[in-house]
Amino acid sequence: MTLPDGRGRVAVVGAGIVGARTVRELIGPGADGQPTNDGVVLVSRREDRLRELSPIYGSRVSTVRADALPALPDDVGVVVVAREQGAQVAVVEDAVRQGRHVVVVGDDPDDVEALLALSGAARDAGVALVVGVAMAPGLSCVLARHSAAQLDSVDEVHVARDGVAGPACARQRLRALRGGAVDWRDGAYVRRPGFSGRELCWFPDPVGARDCFRASLADPYLLVPAFPGVTRVTSRLAASRRDRALAPLPVLLPPPAEGGPGALRVEVRGEVAGGKETIVHGVFDRPGIVASALAAVVATDVVVGLPPGASGLAAVHDTVPLLAELARRGVRAARFHGGS
């Protein structure tokens, strides 16, 4: 594929909150002030949405209305898939078949498992398939890897997330809280009920303390293969007691166009020089902004450096340039220093 030396174009499939923001990130300049690609092709099923977005983006973005992945021009090296849960796998299969690197934004565990199963097809096609590129999983995997680089060994990874991106993400959050969770414990996946395991997690200010619960999340499926020997991996979602009480009832109100500010917390426990060490990183930002900035940076800077096959972002070994580019785009990770 043509990125990064020849640049080439990037296709974005899906024009929701994250897809539209990813296009905006892609048409902005890189750290050197130069374009990071030769243009963007935005693919959506919604004609009205494309008409709304097209004049905002200008001439560097071409739009295509299509239900499935259309036959893309040869200079499209990377496809970013930002469709809702359940509508991603077929598009990814087409993109891999066309021989293009793929970046998939999403956090549904069933989708993530199905996409990881495409690893063989991606290897055969000689392309990288990056799965779970969002706030969590996604930035959570990057921060876990960043912490792991400061440890001799990793024993435990615990992820907690607060907030949602767009309406599809809000629906997915509710499904996750109602569904069954999966924890990694002592070498095996253990099924737990959703909304169990309440834990008070401290996120970066101004979010602060939130009750977090087990939910049907994809982080363990991406973190466990990346850290051989890890004994515990858990993932939780922040929710209020009101959410918990009302969860079994039908939702009568539609989700908002975009969720409010959210946050992420990644706690990694391991050993350094024979002693126990805990490293906590976090982020405060809108999940839609985090996911779109990460998808854009991965599509232009990271994906071609990954080996062929499917993986999450914990497979990225040098996290510093990625975190620096995210910080330049306004997504600033933080580390917790001091006591508990």
Interface with other proteins (CB under 8 A): 200, 202, 204-205, 208-209, 211, 241-242, 245, 281-282, 320, 323-324, 327, 332-340
Q: Judged by CB, which is closer to other proteins: 23, or 314?
A: 314
Q: Judged by CB, which is closer to other proteins: 125, or 160?
A: 160
In this structure, what are the phi and psi dihedrals at residue 322, rounded to the nearest 5 degrees? -65, -45
Q: Judged by CB, which is closer to other proteins: 132, or 204?
A: 204
Q: Judged by CB, which is closer to other proteins: 57, or 202?
A: 202
Nearest to 180, CA basis, from 189, 171, 188? 189
The number of angstroms, rounded, from the C-alpha of 171 to the middle of its chain's C-alpha atoms is: 16
- Min CB(280)–other proteins separation in Å: 9
Q: Judged by CB, which is closer to other proteins: 188, or 245?
A: 245
**Which pair of tokens denotes residue 215?**
């939910």
- Min CB(207)–other proteins separation in Å: 10
Cα Rg of the chain (Å, integer): 19
How many whole angstroms separate alpha carbon 138 and alpha carbon 144? 10
- Min CB(170)–other proteins separation in Å: 21
Sorted by sequence, the CB contacts under 8 Å of residue 309 that are 6+ apart come out as 119, 120, 122, 123, 128, 129
Q: Judged by CB, which is closer to other proteins: 171, or 244?
A: 244
- Min CB(163)–other proteins separation in Å: 17
CB 136 within 8 A of CB 285: no
- Min CB(335)–other proteins separation in Å: 6
How many whole angstroms separate alpha carbon 206 and alpha carbon 340? 18
Q: Judged by CB, which is closer to other proteins: 208, or 260?
A: 208
- Min CB(203)–other proteins separation in Å: 9
DSSP secondary structure string, 141-208?
HHHHHHHHTTSSEEEEEEEEEE--SSHHHHHHHHHHHHSEEEEEETTEEEEEETT-S-EEEEPSTTT-
Nearest to 145, CA basis, from 203, 205, 80, 230? 230
- Min CB(65)–other proteins separation in Å: 40
**Which pair of tokens denotes residue 222?**
């991406």
